[in-house]
Every structure is written in C-alpha cells, then in structure tokens.
Amino acid sequence: MEDGGLGASSDGELARRVAARDGGAPEAEAELCRRLGRRVRLYGLRHLRDAAAADDLVQDVLVLTLERLRSGRVREPDRLASFVLGACRLAVWNHRRGRRRREALLDRFSGVFPRQAEPDSVLLDRSRLRDCLARLAERERSVLVLTFYAEEPSGAIAARVGLSPDNVRTVRHRAFDRLRRCVQGSDA
Amino acid sequence: MSAPCRSPVSDDTLLDWWGGELPPPERARLEKHLLSCEACSVRAFASSRLVEGVRDLVRRGDLPAVVLPSVVELLRREGRRIREYRVAPGRGVQCTVGPDDDVVLARLSADLRDVRRLDLVSRVDDGAEHRLSDLPFDPSTDEVILAPSADVLRARPVHVERMRLLAVGPEGDRLLGEYTFNHSPWPGNR
C-alpha cells in the first residue's frame, strides 16, 4: 500500500526523512521497511536457503538500518543499497557461523533433538507445484533439485548427470520456464 | 505499482543468480541492484517462490524423483528423517513408511558401467506398467536412488511394486536388475 505520496519517493529520500527525525519520519520508516523487507528476504532466501532464517535476516538488517539512519550514521542515504548490502553480508556471515555451531551440536546429539519445525507458511499451492514438476522430464527435475536444493553449480551437476555444463544451463532455463508457466496456469 | 526499471535484470541472469552461477563481481552488482530496485526485486521474489517451493517439496519427501547422493547427504545434514531400503538385483524387501519419516529412499544396486541411457519400468500389483525414460544417474556409483512421495506411500494399502532397471542402447534394452518392494502400512495406520 502506498499512500501520502511516499510511494513515489526514492529510497534515498525516505532515508533522509528518517535521518531528519521530523514529523514524517514514522511514515517514511514504515515505507522503507516495506520496501527493504522483501528485498532483504530475497537476499536471505538466496544465501541462507531457509525461509525462517531469511525472516530473521530481515529483522536484523532492518533494525540495524533504522538504528543507523536515526542516529545519522549512514553517510550517504542516497546509496542506501550499499549500506543494506553490507549489513546483509555481515548478518549472513554471523548466521552461518552460528549454524556451523548448531550443526556440530546436532551431530553430537543426533536423535535426541525434536525434529525441525515445518515452516508455517507454504508459499505456493504445493500440490500444484508437485504436479507441474511431475510433468518435467526426470533429467530436468533432477537439474532443478540439484540447483535449488543442493545448490550445485552447473559444472558439478554436469559431471553427475552426464551432460555438458552448457547443456545443464540450457536444461535448467527451459525447465524453470516450463515450471513457471505451468504454475501460473498458462501451460496447464 | 512500482516505477519501471531503466535497466531490468534478465530472467536468465536471475536464474543464474539462484543457481550460484554468477561470478562474485557480477553477483554483487546484481544484489545491490535488487536491494534498490522495486520492479526487479518483485520479479525476483516471484521466482523465489518457485525455488522455495522446490526446496520445500524435497525436504518433505514429497517430490517423487530420482535423487543423487549429494541430495541425500544434504537431507541428512538438515536433520531429515530418512528411511531407506537397499535392494540388490533380483532381490526383494519388506518395506513401510513410519509416521515420522520425512523421506523414503529406494536404493537400487546396479552395475552402471557402460550405461548410456537408463530407464525404469515399474508396476504395482497387477496394474499397468509405467516407464520412466532417461533417468539421471551418476555412472561413478553402483546404484540408482528413487525417492517416492512419502505421503503417498504412507496412505497406500498393502501392495507389491516391481521395478526393472534397463540400460537402453542401439541394440535394445538390457536388463540391469529386477527389484521387488513388498509394502505394508505402518502397524498403527492399518
């Protein structure tokens, strides 16, 4: 929802209003959080591979960004993306360090811990997505799983499934496009 | 409505980003752009739903697929509960799916040397045969790993599923192994 003209403001303009701490600052903060929240979550999903961890990243980065803006410690508000990118990198690094510690503990106490909680929200109609994936060839499905779940680069996937890296990229692009069109209903 | 982007990121570049294929400088440029551009971040977010959906299905054991050992290893590291049955050619196994199992694996041993194309033919009880063509496989291993949907299997009554792995070549099909899965529901689910 964009209101009060803030939707037309640039990120830099919003950042300056937050830093000025004038009467419009709360609205500017809300609009900035709305915009940055989704973008930071996207970064988290790419680098942390986990929806809950991406949500944590959003909180950490937004808190830091607002705190620095309010205290006037973001030197170039017009280059807010550079600051946010740096904050994302640092938070992801901290998260990974903590995760390695958690994984070491999990190895030691495997079988004792309760199972990992399932994510609260399923972002897509799962059965629809499953049906669309079932329409892909086995090789296409494997390439998508190895790319998005195992996060293997095309060179490694190529060695595993007997294709060239260029072929893996071609298969991936074609399969992803078919999947997207199927889920959107244009290839049902 | 977000303002249109003057230099929109292509779908191919976004997919390369998800696939970890961009070199670090290009990745940094893209990520900075996505953190500042509403229009491109909205498009990227739409693709993230598919990426997340695929991950979610794999973790829940709800994506019937041939899987490779690296995927199994990652599932294990993530703490997923895996029930697996290793079957040698010509052999069978009694199998089930427990209420807490996340993922079920059928590990079919086979000599994959010199195999160029691999097909799988399966049949449940006296039903029709179903053929999966051109399965991905790692020729350096001696097995094919199948991950049927755990939820679907859990809901099924007693049945027998027979599978045949076939090496397909110019001279026709060559049988690599036959495998039998005698499925029973988990005792409490009968």
Confidence of residue A108 (pLDDT cuts 50, 70, 90): low
CB contact under 8 A, A154 and B21: yes
Q: What is the mean pLDDT of residues B11-36?
A: 92
Name the minimum distance, in Å, from the CA of A39 to any CA of chain B: 5
Please give the Cα distance from A100 to A95 (Å, whole number).
9
Interface probe with B: pick from A33, A84, A130, A178, most Cβ of B within 10 Å: A130
Note the pTM of the prediction, 2 decimals.
0.79
3-state SS string for B103-169: EEEEEEECCCCCCCEEEEEEEECCCCCEEECCCCCCCCCCEEEEECCHHHHHCCCCEEEEEEEEEEE
| CATH code for the domain defined by A126-184 | 1.10.10.10
Please give the Cα distance from B171 to A180 (Å, whole number).
38
SS3 A128: helix
Does position A90 have pLDDT exceeding 70, yes or no? yes
CB contact under 8 A, B54 and A116: no
Query: Average pLDDT of chain B?
Result: 92
Q: What is the pLDDT of residue A23?
A: 75
Residue-wise pLDDT tens digits, B70-87: 899 999 998 999 999 999
CB contact under 8 A, B48 and A42: yes
CB contact under 8 A, A142 and B20: no
Q: What is the pLDDT of residue A115?
A: 46
Element (H, E) at B91: strand B91-95
Name the minimum distance, in Å, from the CA of A22 to any CA of chain B: 24
Confidence of residue A113 (pLDDT cuts 50, 70, 90): very low
Tokens of B190: 């009968």
> Which of the two residues, A17 and A115, has the higher pLDDT score?
A17
User: Where along chain A do its domains lie?
Assistant: 6-108, 126-184
> Which of the two residues, A130 and A186, has the higher pLDDT score?
A130
CB contact under 8 A, B66 and A142: yes
From chain B, pick out residues whose CB is under 8 angstroms from the CB of A146: 68, 70-71
Closest CA in chain B for residue A46: B18
% of chain A with per-residue pLDDT over 90: 54
Q: Which residue has the tokens 């303002």?
A: B3
A-B interface: how many C-beta pairs under 8 angstroms? 164
Does position A116 have pLDDT exceeding 60, yes or no? no
Q: What is the topology classification, in CATH, of domain A6-108?
A: Rna Polymerase Sigma Factor; Chain: A (1.10.1740)
Confidence of residue A107 (pLDDT cuts 50, 70, 90): low
Decide: A86 and B28 in contact? Cβ < 8 Å.
no
Q: What is the pLDDT of residue B91?
A: 97
From chain B, pick out residues whose CB is under 8 angstroms from the CB of A128: none
User: How large is the ipTM?
Assistant: 0.85
Closest CA in chain B for residue A100: B77
Among A41, A43, A162, beta carbon nearest to B139:
A162
Closest CA in chain A for residue B119: A138
Name the minimum distance, in Å, from the CA of B178 to any CA of chain A: 20
Superfamily of domain B65-189: Immunoglobulins (2.60.40.10)
User: Where along chain B do its domains lie?
Assistant: 11-59, 65-189
